[in-house]
Structure 1
């Protein structure tokens, strides 16, 4: 677990430190944007590879808690939302206050954070918990950073539907589009189907 903890700390640091405005600015100024992005990608991939290797070598550890069946229902309900947030983040322009960005200014970070949290409900073994805590930490740090960079700044923009409920923004589901909903549903169904084949646990076990 010591090596896994160190690898996870390195993974978190490799995402959080270079994303700080002051650090990123200095590195871009010194290396150039292209070189910085290439180096950042290489370090991120290396950090992830270290986590995978450390996870495998850690072996099965103790159980911190035992997941309850209700956690699977929560995951099955929440994962389509997380996938939709990520689909919208990848297919909509963040500079335009439209579609998903009327609902939240940080859809990508929220999607990853939601993914991490619902998986924590369904794991309990030490090394697996450590991995998802690390992923949740990265997502939370990214959410806070992106919330401060987005317009409007802060929690008012990041909290889903907060601006719509306050009347400062309107709900426009047509800007999200049916095709994004269908794509998110297809991706979710594929992940559920492939989960027991690629990862191991069957998310539908005991549910259906």
Structure 2
């Protein structure tokens, strides 16, 4: 328990996001489990390890660094609908340029959510981690959310570099022409998100709000 468990949980989470996605390892796992089986297994493993990391951070020794101000809690509450919205609009959408998207149906001239931002899931993670870092002013949570934020920021560049190398510079530029790492820096005008995705985002956000206190032990209300 304590710092040892927290370090072990962080190490396991980090390894789970490095080893399985290496091309040779991923190809072997997909061949054994199938693409759907790999995706489901990887998603469940990531979720389980994320729960462990959060629980371990809560059990680590409490070392206060600052007292969260009221405006920080308001900022977190205003940011969370954006986080959930980005995630619901990105998962399974046509976007071969980033994590969580699919290649089929992608049109570089009308890139959809990728035109809003090239890496919507990683931006969701970055915003989530950033605002939760502010409202948790103790050492363990600052380390945890800081690492998540760094992982998201570095992941955007890492995916771009890997796809450039895999596809070639010309093909990557062709596909990414209407996208940008900066929000609203691509061809987002004319994008109309599916209503069912927006409805799902509202339901997920409401569920997270109501479950935050019984599951996490802290009310999200300012």
Q: TM above 0.5, one fold?
A: yes
> Scaled by the length of structure 1, what TM-score is found?
0.75
8 Å contact kept, 2:94–2:112: no
Cα distance, 1:182 vs. partner? 3.0
* Residue 33, structure 1, aligned to residue 35, structure 2: no
Q: Which residue of 2 aligns with 1:166?
A: none
What root-mean-square deviation, in Å, do the aligned CA atoms of Structure 1 and Structure 2 show?
Answer: 3.0
Aligned residue-pair number: 192
8 Å contact kept, 1:83–1:187: yes
Per-residue CA distance 1:19-66 (angstroms, 9 max, x = gap)? 3xxxx22224556533594886686467546535644553x4111221
Cα distance, 1:115 vs. partner? 0.9
Q: Which residue of 1 aligns with 2:169?
A: none
8 Å contact kept, 2:6–2:57: yes
* Residue 66, structure 1, aligned to residue 32, structure 2: no
Which stretches in structure 2 are left out of the alignment for 5+ residues? Answer: 96-102, 164-171
After superposing the two structures, state which structure 1 stretch, 125-134 or 71-80, moved more.
125-134
Cα distance, 1:170 vs. partner? 4.6
Which stretches in structure 1 are left out of the alignment for 5+ residues? Answer: 164-168
> Scaled by the length of structure 2, what TM-score is found?
0.71
1:39-78 aligned within 5 A: 44=46, 47-48=49-50, 51=53, 54-55=56-57, 57-58=59-60, 60-78=61-79
8 Å contact kept, 2:112–2:188: no
What SS does structure 1 have at the residue aligned with 2:17?
helix
The correspondence for 1:116, drawn from 129, 132, 137, is 129
Instruction: Mark the CA change 1:170 to 1:119 in structure 2 (over 3 Å): closer, same or farther.
Output: closer
Cα distance, 1:144 vs. partner? 2.5
Cα distance, 1:138 vs. partner? 3.2
Q: Which residue of 1 aligns with 2:17?
A: 15
What SS does structure 2 have at the residue aligned with 1:158?
coil
Is the helix fraction higher in 1 or 2? Answer: 1
Q: Which residue of 2 aligns with 1:138?
A: 151
What SS does structure 1 have at the residue aligned with 2:183?
coil
